[in-house]
Amino acid sequence: MTSLPADTTHRAEAGAKPPASAPRYAPGYGRLMRSPFYRATLGLLAENRAARLAVFIGVPLLWIAIAHVGPIVQLVRISLLQHYPITDGSSPSYTVANYWAFLSEPLYSLPLMRSVVFAFCVTLVTLIVVYPVAYYVAKIVRPQNRTRALLLLLIPFWAGEVIRTFSVIMLLANRGALNVLLREIGLIDRPIPMLYNYFSLSFGVIYLVCLYMLLPLYSAMEKIPNHLLDAAADLGAGPFTRFGRIILPLSKDGIVSGCSLVFLTTIGVFATPILLGGPSTGLFPETIAAFFHGASDKWPVGAAMAVVMLAASLGLAALFMRLVGGKRSARFL
Amino acid sequence: MAAGRTLDGPKAALSAAYWVFVLYLLGPLLLMTAMSFKAAEFIAFPIGETTLDWYAKVVQDGQFLSAVGYSILIAAATTLFATVIGTWIALVVSAESLWLRSLVFALACLPAVVPGMIQAISVRIFIATLDVPTGTGAIIFGHTLHAVPFVMIMALTRLRTMPGSLVDAARDLGADPVVAFLRVTLPYLKPALYGGMIFCALLSIDDFVRTFFLGGYRTTLPMLIFARLQGGMSPEINAMATLVLLTTAVVGLYAEQLTRKARTR
């Protein structure tokens, strides 16, 4: 934004446009629009419709093609390679052997099954646990207190995966709060091993993902008009009928987006299983990660597994959305 | 649920469910905070004598301070890039005459639905095929990629409430498209963008899995806490985590209020 003396810009412009048409208000922007630097760059773009559209649409499309699609395409490509670092001069040879290696080896396919089942159970439990809470905040708390009731639940949302997992260890460790409390009241005399098994893992993961369920459910339920419920009650519907015929169908969008978010997040958690899982709870992300720790020659098999996991998780989420039939726009909060 | 017949039974039960849930959410974090005041060397209940020494230790811990600086650097760069790109995509998606709009929207959302672990690996492979080393640039790229869909969605919800006549009027009054954007659209988007920027920064600061696969030798905050957790545990980690928790919670709640305002205003 170089600003030359005003009279030179006027002289340069005088032939093309009468100065009277220059905008009088917002003098800063008027000067900006008239400055030669602007006219040579953004101004030129603003006047040429085709160039403007090309830049306006081109830059985001380029970013999406490179950053959003590129890595996934590369992932798929590497997963089909016979050897990964391709030696100079040789052409890459493609094969599906990496996928066969995955399918024929239970050491690899079992963790995937475990991950999918685990994510499914976590999603179900989270839905059951969070649904009444979301209903309470959206429908029973008085409107003026609603934001406060919601913000109280959002405090932990901003602590990251590692910190929240760590705080779960505080609760469940052998000398953690729960065991010490139980021993103090005399219910147990030896600590119950709660860490490093499926219990601690699911506890930690649900702790991590439950707010992804709460927010979509809350925003769906908040939209249910109260007079529908009142009318149903007047017409003699009991609480269960009202729940089954009004609240449940009308919160379907929230259920769909909440469950999809929770499922996809659970499938991808990485730090929590390392910190809270034990030898018997090996989930798929850990299996995949093992292929990426050392040299890159094992990448094709790891990439094949990542592709399988991506397809499985997105496919299951899409299937679920299709089955329950939420609106497309409801996928996000 | 025998109480379902009376009017107040279900309400009381739901209220109890809410408070149990609050306890579930806040309890572990409170325990973590409480443990940071413990005087003894090892993490175990009961706490007994208390001290503030661990905080003094954390504040003087060189590794911690350098991790804070590095995390903030990455978060700032991520926020800058993700906000510009996310807003730009939102503007393109909201342009009505575009036939491939829904495809652009779906692809723009892709990084938000790809599980974090897979995204980290795919970016790791991607930069390797481009001969880009892991390290700061790679982390910023990974974090930006992750944050863009969220900024886009926030900007889009705000753009949807904006009357198109505003930009038309600016154009009629002599503003070219660039100035119309700077003077009309951008100020209108501002509250959503502030919320989106804080959201980006927090996503980046909290992120573990992308940094884990894309990082070099310098550690970010979650990496440092993770590494300390796998080593010997002492209440110093609690003090560290508590400081991070407090900061992110305050900033996050502020952002939440900001976006809420942006949506309703």
Distance CA(A13)–CA(A10), nearest Å, equals 5
CATH 1.10.3720.10 intervals, chain A: 97-331
Please report residues of A whose CB lies closer than 8 A to that of B92: 56-57, 60-61
CB contact (8 A) between residue B92 and residue A173: no
* Orientation of helix B136-160 relative to helix B186-206, angle to 10°: 140
**Does any CB of chain B come closer than 8 Å to the CB of residue A218?**
no
Give the gap in angstroms from C-alpha B46 to the nearest C-alpha of chain A: 7
CA dihedral of residues B236, B240, B242, B245 (deg, nearest 10)? -160
DSSP secondary structure of A46-66 = HH-HHHHHHHHHHHHHHHIII
Mean pLDDT of chain A: 79
pLDDT at position B261 is 67
Residue contact B22–A153, C-beta within 8 A: yes
Considering only CB atoms, B29 lies closest to which of A64, A156, A285, namely A156
Q: pLDDT tens-digit profile of A92-131?
A: 777 788 888 778 888 888 888 888 899 999 999 999 999 9
Q: A321 and chain B: CB distance < 8 Å anywhere? A: no
pLDDT tens for each residue of A259-316: 988 998 898 888 888 888 777 777 888 888 888 876 667 888 888 888 988 998 888 8
Write down the pLDDT at residue B81: 94
Q: What pLDDT, in 10s, does the model give residues A160-210?
A: 888 998 888 888 887 788 888 888 887 877 777 878 888 888 899 999 898
A and B: number of Cβ contacts within 8 A: 264
Interchain contact, A239 vs B206, CB within 8 Å = no
Cβ contacts of A247 on chain B, cutoff 8 Å:
none
ipTM for this model:
0.84
| pLDDT attached to residue B145 | 93
The structural architecture, per CATH, of the domain B62-264 is Orthogonal Bundle (1.10)
More confident residue, A117 or A320: A117
Q: Domain A97-331 is classified in which CATH homologous superfamily? A: MetI-like (1.10.3720.10)
HEC secondary structure over B19-58 = HHHHHHHHHHHHHHHHHCCECCCCCCCCCCCECCHHHHHH
Q: How far apart are CA B191 and CA B200, in angstroms?
A: 14
- In angstroms, the CA A171 to CA A179 distance is 8
Environment class of B147 (CB within 10 Å of its CB; exposed 0-12, middle 13-18, buried 19+): buried
Decide if A129 touches B, using CB distance below 8 A. Answer: yes
In the predicted model, residues of chain B with pLDDT beneath 50 are 1-6, 265
Q: Is A295 left (phi over 0), alpha (psi -120 to 50) or beta?
A: beta
| Per-residue model confidence (pLDDT) at position A22 | 53
Q: Where are the domains of chain B?
A: 2-35, 62-264
- The answer on pLDDT for A17 being more than 50 is no
Give residue A129's pLDDT: 92
pLDDT of residue A88: 63
DSSP, residue by residue, A98-112: HHHHHHH-HHHHHHH
For an interface test with B, the pick among A68, A153, A287 (most B C-beta atoms closer than 10 Å) comes out as A68
Say yes or no: A58 contacts chain B, CB-CB below 8 A.
no
